[in-house]
Amino acid sequence: MDFDYSDDQKFLKDEARKFLAARCPSSVVRGVLDDPGKSYDAGLWRAVAEQGWLGAAIPERFNGLGLGRVELCAIAEELGRALAPIPFASTVYLLAEAVMAHGTETQKAAILPRIAAGQLIGCLATSEGPGVITSSVLQAKVDGGKLTGVKIPVTDGDAADMALVLANESGRPGLFLVDLRAGGVKVETLDSLDPTRGVARLTFDGAVADRLGEAGQGFALVQAILDRAAVLLAFEQLGGADRCLEMAREYALGRYAFGRVIAGYQAIKHKLADMYVRNEVARSNAYYAAWALNVDAPELPTAAAAARIAASDAFWFASKESVQVHGGMGFTWDVDCHLYYRRSRQLSLVAGAPKLWKERLVSELEKKNAA
Amino acid sequence: MDFNDSPDEAAYREKARVWLAENAAAHRAEHGEPGPTTPEHMAAAKAWQARKAAAGYACITWPAAFGGGGGTPIQSVIFGQEEAKAGVSYGYFTIGLGMCVPTVMAFGDDATKQRFVSPAVKGDEIWCQLFSEPAGGSDVAALRTRAVRDGDEWVINGQKVWTTGAHYSDYGIVLVRTDPDVPKHKGLTMFWIDMRDPAVERRPIHQMSGGRDFNEVYFTDLRIKDSQRLGAVGEGWKVALVTLMNERLAVGGSAGPDYRQVMELARGLPGAQGPALKDQAFRETLADWYVNSQGLKYTRFRTMTALSRGQTPGPESSIGKIISANQLQDLANTAVEAQDEYGVLTDPALAPMEAAFQQSLMWAPGLRIAGGTDEILKNIIAERVLGLPGDVRVDKDVAFKDMPTGR
């Protein structure tokens, strides 16, 4: 039984924590939060690229580090903890993973080395409006290799160089790589719940679209891509949830009311214990999903769903109750609680809300039981 | 990150499997599968324990000199997994070997250890733990059972409650008050006693679930020797903490239906719009249970990983009973409600899955209390894991006899 980070992975994680403590303190996060013109921190992005993290899981022949997915999970956990305001998830968990899993050699050679070098930012563009995107509401279409349609919201769409776009081609849904610097695209930055992560509307009018994976398999491809991304996002959520518990604990130990620290009152103690319980459930599910992702196990769909559900729940609970433990201070702009509260919403909403994943999980369990 | 045994662990597992395959078959041939709580069931349990002890599979981590296996914690976990798969397991020895005898080993003199440890390992003698009282549940140190010294003897009077297995136990460890003039934690002393002494009366408790799995135990002028003392006079609380440290491990997970059974039930159950399994609210709840069950399963794997690496496991296993007991209650209730009016029926011949959900519904409240209530477990996480301060103790410096009491 070896169901934990190895010593090397722990070392990598510790180094990542130290690096982010130095390079991504909350002032960097707030630099993006408070500047409407800034959708990510370019300095941090370059530094992360120099660390090699963007290519951590990219094979060495494409100039990546060629590490495993568990190493990438360890990095994700630390990025989540630090609330890193960079398009890492969109570029690495979505675009790079999608190209590695479904791309042709030509696509891999064109895209992966640029990602590893920090020269290409990616994004996933599926949604076109409120509610769940399904084949009956999908409007974007590709005709003769040219894309038209509107995608809103697109996380990191304003910073991205390349988008993965869900669109119909000859009436069948497909997934397409679109170079956002090649014209035929209008990019508008939008306000969002979490201003530390960029969001845009992308309007396509004849942009060149290069199909990724099989024709007609757009929704299946998106699901396969999200299965992988969900695992990595769960580690970001876990890192955030752990930090919320620590912040609430530190505050409760220093805050006096009725003559003693509030950390001594059972109403607070039990709240923090509840956070701990949820975080551990999230951690154990995330570890299992990391294993499934790393070895491409057939259990990945259920493992990813369970990890995403548990991590979404843990981060939501920890972030909202951390505000509560901080009392009035927690409701101010100046205390960091709301940064986590915002990020917990952003991470739960991107890549499919938990309700969808619960349905997916139960559907998978039904299949398994029927088999 | 993987789930594989190390080569040593794999070898041990293989050896255990071979032994279990042979011996479980031989055991079944000899004893059959007697119904629970029958004398034949007890006889079979003792025979199985003796068979394990002879092969070094009983109390695997204890020294061989005491009849144990001289093995490692991970070997103990591996054998437990394989034993469960082999379908032979009896609960009679869990409390004695998990909590009582380790206390005897830690605090008994050599003669006491020589006399008791090995027979307990072999299953010849069964032990129970007598701590809880009507006036001391979560606050065990508020107990009132009194021991008064009389020369080289002590005389015990009082009442214990919720004593698992008192009716079939041969010996017990009992925590009593020896000095009411000092604050509550300071006036306690631990002894071992003979449960078959006529001054010990055992009465089963009629639980809300209808069953009688626990006991009240009454002491009327029970005379014991001072040599039966475990630890110093007035040091009983420290001794009890050693016993209780083992309790979380001994009480462990919950038996009963899990998400699989509810899913199976809901598949065939008509709802207002098609099968209950197609109900959206039900599906979301089911997903939550699955996630929690997996969370506990893989948390146990994390604990095993620490043992496998020769490290001390982290505190993560403390989440187990808080989740499992509450989930059993919710799950049972949802399953009963899914049956609609029919859910009131408790006859195993009529109710789905032999009324497992109705039985769990009535059993779960006890599970949330036994071995540390939800509230105490959260205090433990808050104080020992998160390092938060203890509660205000208004009775800390008050002599026990001056403490306010209710009924």
Residues A129/A133/A135/A138 CA torsion (nearest 10 deg): 30
ipTM of this model?
0.92
For A133-147, b/e burial (b = at least 16 CB within 10 A) is beeeebebbbeeeeb
Tell me how far apart the 2 most distant CA atoms of chain A are, in Å.
74
Percent of chain B at pLDDT exceeding 70? 97
Whether the ω angle into residue B180 lies within 30 degrees of 0, i.e. cis, is no
Rounded Cα distance, B336 and B364, in Å = 13
Q: Does B199 score more than 90 pLDDT?
A: yes
Q: CB burial class (10 A; 0-12, 13-18, 19+) of residue B107?
A: buried
Closest to A250 in 3D by CA, of A235, A236, A268:
A268
Rounded Cα distance, A180 and A120, in Å = 11
Positive/negative CA dihedral, A109, A112, A117, A118? positive
| Residue B210 main-chain phi, psi, to 5 deg | 95, -25
| Residue of higher predicted confidence among B304 and B383 | B383
Q: Would you place residue B303 in the very low, low, confident or very high pLDDT band (cuts 50, 70, 90)?
A: confident
pLDDT value of residue A176: 98
Q: Would you place residue B252 in the very low, low, confident or very high pLDDT band (cuts 50, 70, 90)?
A: very low
CB atoms within 10 A of CB B347: 9
A313 close to A354: Cβ distance less than 8 angstroms: yes
List, in sequence order, every residue forming a beta bridge with B188; answer none if it has no partner.
Answer: B177
| Residue B217 main-chain phi, psi, to 5 deg | -130, 125
For A223-243, b/e burial (b = at least 16 CB within 10 A) is ebbbbbbbbbbbbbbbbbbbb
Mean pLDDT (whole number) for B159-180: 96
Positive/negative CA dihedral, B237, B241, B244, B248? positive
Helix (H) or strand (E) holding B204: strand B200-204
B81–chain A Cβ distance below 8 A for any pair: no
DSSP string, B177-203: ES-TTSBGGGGEEEEEEETTSTTEEEE
Nearest Cα residue in chain B from A291: B1
Q: Does B407 score more than 70 pLDDT?
A: no
A311 close to A234: Cβ distance less than 8 angstroms: yes
CB contact under 8 A, A263 and B388: yes
CB contact under 8 A, B389 and A264: yes
Rounded Cα distance, B388 and B371, in Å = 22
Q: CB burial class (10 A; 0-12, 13-18, 19+) of residue A113?
A: middle
Alpha helices in B278-396 (DSSP H): 280-308, 320-338, 356-367, 374-380
Rounded Cα distance, B145 and B163, in Å = 14
Three-state helix/strand/coil letters over chain A: CECCCCHHHHHHHHHHHHHHHHHCCHHHHHHHHCCCCCCCCHHHHHHHHHCCHHHCCCCHHHCCCCCCHHHHHHHHHHHHHHCCCCCHHHHHHHHHHHHHHHCCHHHHHHHHHHHHCCCCCEEEECCCCCCCCCCCCCCCEEECCEEEEEEEEEECCCCCCEEEEEEEECCEEEEEEEECCCCCEEEEECCCCCCCCCEEEEEEEEEEEEEECCCCCHHHHHHHHHHHHHHHHHHHHHHHHHHHHHHHHHHHHHCEECCEEHHHCHHHHHHHHHHHHHHHHHHHHHHHHHHHHHHCCCCHHHHHHHHHHHHHHHHHHHHHHHHHHHHHHHHCCCCCHHHHHHHHHHHHHCCCCHHHHHHHHHHHHHHHHHC
Nearest Cα residue in chain B from A360: B287
CB contact under 8 A, A280 and B319: yes
Tokens of A223: 């699901």
Q: Let me know how long chain A is.
A: 371
pTM for this prediction: 0.93
Contacts of B321 in chain A (CB under 8 A): none
Q: Does B111 score more than 60 pLDDT?
A: yes
Amino acid at B363: W
Q: How far is CA A132 from CA A301, A364, B369, in A?
A: 19, 19, 43
Nearest Cα residue in chain B from A304: B291
Rounded Cα distance, A16 and A25, in Å = 13
pLDDT value of residue B309: 87
pLDDT value of residue B35: 87
List, in sequence order, every residue forming a beta bridge with B215; answer none if it has no partner.
Answer: B204
List, in sequence order, every residue forming a beta bridge with B129; answer none if it has no partner.
Answer: B173
Which of B1, B267, B378 faces A70 most closely, judged by CB atoms?
Answer: B1
List, in sequence order, every residue forming a beta bridge with A199; answer none if it has no partner.
Answer: A155
Would you kindly state where each structural domain of chain B is located, as residue ranges?
8-90, 127-239, 252-369
Rounded Cα distance, A361 and A365, in Å = 6
List, in sequence order, every residue forming a beta bridge with A208; answer none if it has no partner.
Answer: A146
Residue-level pLDDT, tens digit, chain A, 371 residues: 889 999 999 999 999 999 999 999 999 999 999 999 999 999 999 999 999 999 999 999 999 999 999 999 999 999 999 999 999 999 999 999 999 999 999 999 999 999 999 999 999 999 999 999 999 999 999 999 999 999 999 999 999 999 999 999 999 999 999 999 999 999 999 999 999 999 999 999 999 999 999 999 999 999 999 999 999 999 999 999 999 999 999 999 999 999 999 999 999 999 999 999 999 999 999 999 999 999 999 999 999 999 999 999 999 999 999 999 999 999 999 999 999 999 999 999 999 999 999 999 999 999 987 75
Q: CB burial class (10 A; 0-12, 13-18, 19+) of residue A178?
A: buried
Which of B2, B319, B386 faces A291 most closely, judged by CB atoms?
Answer: B2
pLDDT value of residue B222: 98
pLDDT value of residue B313: 81
B376–chain A Cβ distance below 8 A for any pair: no
Which of B1, B296, B382 faces A272 most closely, judged by CB atoms?
Answer: B382
Give SS3 for B252: coil
Which of A1, A280, A358 faces B283 most closely, judged by CB atoms?
Answer: A358
Q: Would you place residue B249 in the very low, low, confident or very high pLDDT band (cuts 50, 70, 90)?
A: very low
Structure confidence by residue, pLDDT tens digits, B368-393? 998 889 999 999 999 999 999 999 88
> Which CATH superfamily, name and number, covers B252-369?
Butyryl-CoA Dehydrogenase, subunit A, domain 3 (1.20.140.10)
Q: How far is CA B334 from CA A185, B203, B359, in A?
A: 51, 35, 13
Q: Let me know how long chain B is.
A: 407
B296–chain A Cβ distance below 8 A for any pair: yes
> Which CATH superfamily, name and number, covers B127-239?
Butyryl-CoA Dehydrogenase, subunit A, domain 2 (2.40.110.10)
Amino acid at B24: A
Amino acid at A126: T
CA angle A118, A45, A237 (to 5 degrees): 110
Q: How far is C-alpha B77 from the geometric centre of its chain's CA atoms?
A: 16
Rounded Cα distance, A27 and A352, in Å = 30
Nearest Cα residue in chain A from B384: A273
CB contact under 8 A, B291 and A269: no
Question: 């509610």: which residue's tokens?
Answer: A131
Mean pLDDT of chain B: 92
Give SS3 for B56: coil
Which of B4, B277, B298 faces A287 most closely, judged by CB atoms?
Answer: B298
CB contact under 8 A, B299 and A280: yes
Rounded Cα distance, A347 and A361, in Å = 19
pLDDT value of residue B251: 41
pLDDT value of residue B1: 85
Structure confidence by residue, pLDDT tens digits, B33-88? 888 889 999 999 999 999 999 999 999 999 999 999 999 988 998 998 899 899 88
For A12, residues 6+ apart whose C-beta sits below 8 A from its C-beta are A71, A74, A75
